[in-house]
Amino acid sequence: MPENDSLLLDTANRYGTPMYVYDGDALKEHYGHITSWLHQTAEVFFSFKSNGNFAIASLLRSFGAGIEVASAGELLMAVKAGYSPQQIIFSGPGKGKEEIDIAIQHEIYCIIAESKEELIYIAESAKHQDKQASVGIRVNPESIESRAKIKMGGVPSPFGIDESKLKEVFDLFQMYDHSLLFKGIHMYLGTQVLDETSLLSSFEYTLNTAVRIKNEYGLICQMVDLGGGFGIPYFQHEKPLHAERLFQNVAELIRSYETELEGTRFIIEMGRFLLAECGVYLTAIQYVKESKGQPFLIADGGMHHHQAMTFRGRLLRNNYPMRLIKHSQKTAPVVKQSIVGPLCTPEDLIGRQVELPQGEVGDLLCIEKSGAYGLCYSPTLFLGHPSPLELLLFEGNEYIVRDRGKPEDLLLKQETSLFKQRRAEYETDGASSRYD
Mean pLDDT of the residues in the chain: 92
Longest Cα–Cα distance of the chain, Å, equals 92
If we measure between CA atoms, which residue out of 193, 202, 271, 203 comes closest to residue 233? Answer: 193
Bridge partners (DSSP) listed for residue 357: 334
Return the domain boundaries, the chain: 91-270, 277-411
Model confidence at 156: pLDDT above 80: no
How does strand 294-299 pair with strand 334-340?
parallel
Bridge partners (DSSP) listed for residue 299: 285
Model confidence at 435: pLDDT above 60: no
For range 262-286, the mean pLDDT: 97
DSSP per-residue codes, 107-122? T-SEEEE-SHHHHHHH
316 vs 280, higher pLDDT: 280
The tens digit of pLDDT for each residue in 99-147 reads: 999 999 999 999 999 999 999 999 999 999 999 999 999 999 876 654 4
The tens digit of pLDDT for each residue in 15-65 reads: 999 999 999 999 999 999 999 999 999 999 999 999 999 999 999 999 999
Q: What is the CATH number of domain 91-270?
A: 3.20.20.10
φ, ψ (nearest 5 deg) of residue 118 = -65, -40
149 pLDDT tier (thresholds 50, 70, 90): very low
If we measure between CA atoms, which residue out of 399, 326, 384, 364 comes closest to residue 22? Answer: 399
212 pLDDT tier (thresholds 50, 70, 90): very high
φ, ψ (nearest 5 deg) of residue 424 = -65, -40
Provide the pLDDT for residue 40: 94
For range 71-100, the mean pLDDT: 97
HSE-CB for 279 with a 13 A CA cutoff: 26
Cα dihedral 209, 210, 211, 212 in deg (nearest 10): 50
Dihedral class, residue 15 (left if φ above 0, else alpha if ψ from -120 to 50, else beta): alpha
Model confidence at 155: pLDDT above 90: no
151 pLDDT tier (thresholds 50, 70, 90): very low
**92-94-99 Cα angle (round to 5):** 85
For range 276-288, the mean pLDDT: 98
The beta-strand segments (E) located in 307-388 are 322-325, 334-340, 349-357, 364-367
The tens digit of pLDDT for each residue in 322-337 reads: 999 999 878 899 999 9
Report the b/e string of 178-204 with b at 16+ CB within 10 A.
Answer: ebbbbbbbbbbbbbbbbebebbebbbb
* Residue 416 to residues 75, 385, 421, Cα–Cα distance (Å): 31, 19, 11
CATH 2.40.37.10 given to domain 277-411: yes
* Lowest mean pLDDT segment, chosen from 136-145, 153-162, 268-277, 377-386: 153-162
Model confidence at 434: pLDDT above 70: no
390 vs 145, higher pLDDT: 390
* Lowest mean pLDDT segment, chosen from 14-18, 278-282, 398-402, 409-413: 409-413
Helix (H) or strand (E) holding 31: helix 24-38
How many CB atoms are located within 10 Å of the residue 52 CB?
Answer: 17
φ, ψ (nearest 5 deg) of residue 315 = -70, -45
Provide the pLDDT for residue 428: 65
In sequence order, what are the residues at sequence separation of 6 or more whose Cβ sits closer than 8 angstroms to the Cβ of residue 138?
91, 112, 113, 114, 159, 160, 161, 185, 186, 187, 188
* 8 A C-beta contact, residue 323 and residue 368: yes
Provide the pLDDT for residue 424: 65
Q: Helix or strand or coil: residue 340?
A: strand
Percent pLDDT > 70 in the chain is: 92
436 pLDDT tier (thresholds 50, 70, 90): very low
Question: What is the pTM assigned to this prediction?
Answer: 0.92
Instruction: In whole angstroms, give the CA distance from residue 185 to residue 10.
Output: 48
Model confidence at 312: pLDDT above 80: no
Provide the pLDDT for residue 423: 64
Provide the pLDDT for residue 318: 86
Provide the pLDDT for residue 374: 97
H helix intervals, 344-389: none
At 119, the amino acid letter reads L
For range 153-169, the mean pLDDT: 79
Percent pLDDT > 90 in the chain is: 84
At 246, the amino acid letter reads L
Model confidence at 305: pLDDT above 90: yes
